[in-house]
Amino acid sequence: MMDIEVEHQLPVEKISATLAQNDRGEFRRVFLELHFYDQARLLIQLDEQQRGKVYRYLSAKELGDMFDELEVNEGNAIAYLKEMNPHQGAMVLSEMYTDNTVDMLSDATSSDLATYLNLLPSGEKNEVRKLLNYEDKTAGALMTTEYVAVSIDDSVGTAMQVIRRLARDAEIIYYVYVQDDAENLIGVVTLRELLSNDKRAMVREIMNPNVYSVFVDDDQADVAQTVREYNFLAMPVVNRAGHLLGIITVDDIIDVIDEESTEDYSGLAGVNVDDLEESPIMAAVHRLPWLITLLILGMSTATLINHFEGLVSEASILAVFISLITGTAGNAGTQSLAVAVRKISVENDRKMIQLIRNEVITGLLIGVVTAIVITVIVGIWKNNFVLGAVIGISMVAAIIVANLAGSLIPILMDKIGVDPAVASGPFISTLSDLTSVMIYFSIARIFLNYLI
Amino acid sequence: MMDIEVEHQLPVEKISATLAQNDRGEFRRVFLELHFYDQARLLIQLDEQQRGKVYRYLSAKELGDMFDELEVNEGNAIAYLKEMNPHQGAMVLSEMYTDNTVDMLSDATSSDLATYLNLLPSGEKNEVRKLLNYEDKTAGALMTTEYVAVSIDDSVGTAMQVIRRLARDAEIIYYVYVQDDAENLIGVVTLRELLSNDKRAMVREIMNPNVYSVFVDDDQADVAQTVREYNFLAMPVVNRAGHLLGIITVDDIIDVIDEESTEDYSGLAGVNVDDLEESPIMAAVHRLPWLITLLILGMSTATLINHFEGLVSEASILAVFISLITGTAGNAGTQSLAVAVRKISVENDRKMIQLIRNEVITGLLIGVVTAIVITVIVGIWKNNFVLGAVIGISMVAAIIVANLAGSLIPILMDKIGVDPAVASGPFISTLSDLTSVMIYFSIARIFLNYLI
């Protein structure tokens, strides 16, 4: 039985020992038993000199398998590739799955990119060049070209032969795509179905002609949604003419889902939670621009209160409730924002208007209940129900406006093409501070005589 | 070529027509061509009378395939099952994958549960009973028992026969688990590897003995993390003795990842974004409890400002900057919270202390820069650099405290066993309102003479 804790421990010391003793055989014996992902994790714990030996002790294919995992899981895999001479580096790149090769090269400087491309075998070079041209976060940028395809005229037996031949190199062999003579994607058959049928049966009889596919320029979030709904292990990618160009496997979809949810989450908080290893200095540098921007927006609220300073000096009791109103409205607005951003990613236009309408109505209901509660509390506490009513009315109005902002702003941003996740929680709550104060003091001024 | 837009359109009218004409043959012809997920989507668009015909026109196995998708994608699948008589319902349940059967029955009332369990074949009944007992959100609650296993003494040829036999019923046939006589999980071999080897080779020669597994009581988030890192299509689940109990497939892992990220996101905003169809009234009902709680917490801030009311009436300029300080500190605290919640899910204890320390240092750096900016702005605006310094110093202190709260509180909650995602953004910012005000007025009081 394998304890999951034990399995995750890497034999770092043992490997270091084999490297120190220049024992190529023993190193290979221990290292190649590890899962590729663990090989990658171990590599980054070695120093540069040790890694140099690792590059010499492993074949290009073995390094390629490891670098596949390095690229997917580490941000800066190309730095490790550059520790080898360019010829070896290019060989390793050609042994990797093409989607990972492309990801690694898209992080390279233009001169490094040119160097490696020139050293790749020409077939690979063209494939990589094509994939590099796809826009980030589209199906084309995610796909790989190592898939299994058969002709519609093939038999099950022929298909099985193709699979056996490609078993080591294809990224996935469990879905077999069916093409006609013009290389159009016209069907799919699973390995499961092939195994359930006699060798002499024809692919065209057992294939599923209603094959789901995505266009090469489809947004990655839409691709992820389809995989999620239909539980596919891979999606074929076609161009507008229907030619099969590549496939996206479910593990890459999981990475997309993680990326999209991290973006939503980051947007709500106004901070990028992706880089978990950054130092406090880098964290401060990253967060400051947005915070200073919000500070300046907050200054307009200060300017507004300043405009009403006379009012406050006459009825200083008003200062007591500033943060209560701004805070409650801010909380409500953040809730509306969170719901709106989540809905935008899955719904269409007509529903957006309904969303705004619903959020405003929700704000009204919440506001009325909150207003009644606060009117009673303040009225009893300060023995002044006019004051209570002022706070209560301000509360209702502030909450409705905050909910409106929280739902409308991300929708508008989505319309003009900006990622709605950028309309962060802090922005909405700082904006609602401004509107809440404006409402509060305007109402208070009307009833000033009852508040002094 | 299939346009993804076209593929997602359901032949609702055509199906409705076949049902209206009681044309069983034509209905089956059109309906059974659809992907199971599309069948489920179509079913819920029919009315009860139409669905009654659907249940009569399809076999238990066909209904089972559709209900598998219904359960995964719709919240209330059991309501549809109850439209059939219990005997048919139980037959459909037994044709579903066991993990989905268990999910559906865990939504049932106890009397419905008892009814269906009694009608299940006894083998299935025991399996379902066992799985129902696993705690929600653990590996045991996610797993299914339809996997492929072979003995360590089997040959590749024997393994392929087992696969062919189970090809229709196993949830996944691409990973084959290897057991010894005592049913311990001792290895795994992929279908890819089986196809790459001669029929006479032995499973024990080609299998991977370092098989990754999870314990039946492991947390679902940990299971998802392992699948994510190693790109598995399925994870075997074992008990503490090492016996293979079931498997979790990657599509269920995707659902777990979605669930966990929705929880984090909801927690940050203080609102449950899961139910996207709720009416404004229900939305208000769900959000009010938390908002009222925060309102009462906000009252303590009001009480605090009230304590300082004399100070404000003497230097009403102070009221101008209340929301600026509380707002900026609140924004910073929310950022710390977001980072902390995200890190807690992937890191260990020692790193938690480092996290808090880093957030406080980040707060100090942010605070100092913000303080300098605001001191200059206020000093010039109000021609009073003491006032500026008071605002600046308050700002620094308020931000540091907010960052401390934003990172410490979720960690403490995680320690006492509460989901840190509950420590929502609104809670941290409302709390930081309190601390910010306390700091602000305490400092202001010291320098009161320079502010009048």
Distance from CA of B365 to the nearest CA of A (A): 6
**Is B284 in CB contact (< 8 Å) with chain A?**
yes
Cross-chain Cβ contact A319/B312 below 8 Å: yes
**Contacts of B156-165 spanning 24+ positions with Cβ under 8 A:** B156/B194, B156/B197, B156/B198, B156/B199, B156/B200, B156/B201, B156/B202, B156/B203, B156/B206, B157/B199, B157/B200, B158/B203, B159/B189, B159/B194, B159/B203, B160/A195, B160/B194, B160/B199, B163/A195, B163/B191, B163/B194, B164/A195, B164/A196
- Least confident window among A296-300, B96-100, B267-271: B267-271
pLDDT range class, residue A241, cuts 50, 70, 90:
confident
For A1, which of B185, B262, B338 is closest by C-beta distance?
B185
Residue B1 has pLDDT above 50, yes or no: no
Collect all residues of chain A within an 8 Å Cβ-Cβ radius of residue B210. Answer: 2, 7, 33-35
Chains A, B: CB contacts under 8 A, how many?
361
ipTM of the complex: 0.81
The verdict on a CB contact (< 8 Å) between A326 and B326 is: yes
| Cα–Cα distance for residue pair A185/A39, rounded to 1 Å | 37
Contact: B335, A305; criterion CB under 8 Å: no
Residue A111 has pLDDT above 90, yes or no: no
pTM of the model: 0.82
Q: Find out whether A432 and A330 touch, Cβ atoms under 8 Å.
A: yes
Predicted confidence band at A1 (pLDDT cuts at 50, 70, 90)? very low
What number does CATH give the domain B149-257? Answer: 3.10.580.10
Window 38-57 of A: residues touching B by CB (8 A cutoff) are none
Measured between CA atoms, the residue of chain A closest to residue B186 is: A1
Q: Inter-chain contact A229–B37, Cβ cutoff 8 Å? A: yes
Express each pLDDT in A356-412 by its tens digit. Answer: 888 899 999 999 999 999 999 998 988 888 899 999 999 999 999 999 999 998 888
Whether residues A35 and B212 touch (CB distance < 8 A) is answered with: yes
State pLDDT tens for residues A13-61.
999 999 999 999 999 999 998 999 999 999 989 999 999 999 999 999 9
pLDDT of A293 > 70? The answer is yes
Structure token pair of residue B170: 């196993």
Q: Which residues does chain B have within 8 Å of residue A305's beta carbon, measured at their own beta carbons? A: 319-323
Taking CB atoms and an 8 Å limit, are B291 and A332 in contact across chains? yes
Q: Which tokens belong to A338?
A: 């969170």
Partner B, chain A 354-413, Cβ-Cβ below 8 Å: 358-359, 361-362, 365-366, 369-370, 373-374, 377
Mean of the per-residue pLDDT values for chain A?
88
Residue B295 in this model has a pLDDT that exceeds 70: yes
Is B212 within 8 Å of A2 when comparing Cβ atoms?
yes
Q: Which of A4-18, B282-296, B372-386 has the highest mean pLDDT?
A: B372-386
Note the pLDDT of residue A276. 63
How many CB atoms neighbour CB B192 within 10 A? 19
Q: Which residues of B touch A281 (CB under 8 A)?
A: 365
Percent of chain A at pLDDT above 70?
95
**C-alpha distances in Å from residue B25, one per residue of A74, B28, B30, B200, B415:** 55, 5, 9, 46, 60
Contacts of A184 in chain B (CB under 8 A): 1
Given an 8 Å threshold on Cβ–Cβ distance, is A191 in contact with B174?
yes
The predicted-structure confidence for A127-146, as pLDDT tens digits, reads as follows 888 888 888 889 998 999 99
CA A382 to chain B, closest CA, distance in angstroms equals: 10
Contact with chain B for residue A166, Cβ under 8 A = no
Structure tokens at B59: 């076999």
- The closest CB to that of A195, out of B163, B233, B238, belongs to B163
Is residue A3 very low, low, confident or very high in pLDDT (cuts 50, 70, 90)? Answer: very low
Whether A228 has a pLDDT exceeding 60, the answer reads yes
Region A169-180: mean pLDDT is 92
pLDDT, average across residues B83-101: 92
Q: Do A185 and B1 touch (CB under 8 A)?
A: yes
Are B334 and A425 in contact (CB < 8 Å)?
yes
User: Among partner residues A212, A291, A374, which is closest to B328 by beta-carbon distance?
Assistant: A291
Q: Which chain B residues are closer than 8 Å to A210 by Cβ?
A: 2, 7, 33-35
Residue A437 has pLDDT above 90, yes or no: yes
* Chain B residues with beta carbon closer than 8 angstroms to that of A429: 327, 330-331, 429
Mean pLDDT taken over chain B = 88
pLDDT at A155: 94
Tokens matching residue A207: 């294939």
Structure token pair of residue B244: 């293979």
Question: Do residue B331 and residue A366 have CB atoms under 8 angstroms apart?
Answer: no
Non-local CB neighbours of A303 within 8 Å, separated by 6+ positions = none
Query: What does the CA dihedral B309, B314, B320, B325 come to, rounded to 10 degrees?
Result: -60
CB contact under 8 A, A331 and B250: no
Instruction: Tell me how close the Cα of B161 comes to any Cα of chain A, in angstroms.
Output: 9
Tell me the nearest-neighbour CA distance from B181 into chain A, angstroms. Answer: 14
What letter represents residue B312's amino acid?
V
CB contact, 8 Å: B452 with chain A?
Answer: no
Secondary structure (DSSP) of B112-167? HHHHHHHHS-HHHHHHHHHHHTSPTTBHHHH-BS---EEETT-BHHHHHHHHHHHT
The residues facing A111 across adjacent strands are: none
CA distance A114 to chain B (A): 31
pLDDT of residue A25: 92
Query: Do the chains contact at B299 and A324, CB–CB below 8 Å?
Result: yes
Q: What percent of chain B has pLDDT over 90?
A: 47
pLDDT per position as a tens digit, B123-146: 888 888 888 888 888 999 899 999
Nearest chain B Cα distance for residue A84, angstroms: 26
Sequence-distant (≥ 6) Cβ neighbours of residue A279 within 8 angstroms: B358
Q: Is A419 helix (H, G, I), strand (E, B) or coil?
A: coil
> What pLDDT is recorded for position A6?
39
Distance, in Å, from the CA atom of B354 to the CA atom of A283, rounded to the nearest integer, reads 14
Would you state the pLDDT for residue B272?
79
Express each pLDDT in B13-29 by its tens digit: 999 999 999 999 999 99
**Closest CB to A305 among B163, B258, B319:** B319
Does B322 lie at the interface with A, CB-CB under 8 angstroms? yes
Residues of chain A contacting residue B343, judged by C-beta atoms under 8 Å apart = 276
**pLDDT of A211 above 60:** yes
The CATH superfamily label for domain B280-450 reads SLC41 divalent cation transporters, integral membrane domain (1.10.357.20)
Contact B211 A250 (CB under 8 A): no
Q: What's the pLDDT at B4?
A: 39
Query: pLDDT digits over B301-330, tens only?
Result: 999 998 988 888 888 888 889 989 999 999
pLDDT at residue A333 tops 70: yes
Alpha carbon separation from A49 to A20, A89, A398, B108 (Å, rounded): 10, 17, 63, 61
Percent of chain A with pLDDT over 90: 46
Which CATH architecture does the domain made up of A10-133 adopt? Alpha Horseshoe (1.25)
pLDDT, position B351? 77
- Residues B189-193, mean pLDDT to the nearest whole number: 92
Q: Is the pLDDT of residue B2 over 60?
A: no
Candidates B226, B280, B433; nearest CB to A327: B433
**Residue A287 contacts B, CB cutoff 8 Å:** yes
More confidently predicted of B416 and A333: A333
Q: How many angstroms separate the first and last alpha carbons of chain A?
A: 77
Tell me, what's the pLDDT at B411?
85
Please report, for chain B, the start and end positions of each structural domain, with discontinuous segments joined by +: 10-133, 149-257, 280-450
CB B168 within 8 A of CB B175: no
Q: Which residues of A touch B250 (CB under 8 A)?
A: 233, 250-251, 254
Contact list, B193 vs chain A (CB under 8 Å): 167
Given a cut of 50, whether residue A2 has pLDDT beyond it is no
Tell me if B213 and A373 make a contact (CB, 8 A cut-off): no
- Contact status of A17 with chain B (Cβ, < 8 Å): no
- A253 interfacial to chain B (CB closer than 8 Å): yes
Residue A58, pLDDT score: 94
**Alpha-carbon distance B96 to nearest alpha carbon in chain A (angstroms):** 15
Question: Which among B30, B233, B316, B352 is the top mutation candidate for probing chain A, defined by the most A β-carbons within 10 Å of its own β-carbon?
Answer: B316
* A396 min Cα distance to partner chain B (Å): 13
Q: Taking each helix axis as running N to C, give the angle between helix B322-344 and helix B385-415, from 0 to 180 degrees, rounded to the nearest 10.
A: 30
Cβ–Cβ of B358/A163 closer than 8 Å? no
Please tell me which of the candidates B242, B273, B369 has its beta carbon nearest to residue A339.
B273
Closest CA of chain B from A381, distance in Å? 10
Chain A interface includes B447 (CB < 8 A): no
Q: Which of B160, B287, B335 sits opposite A335 (nearest CB)?
A: B287
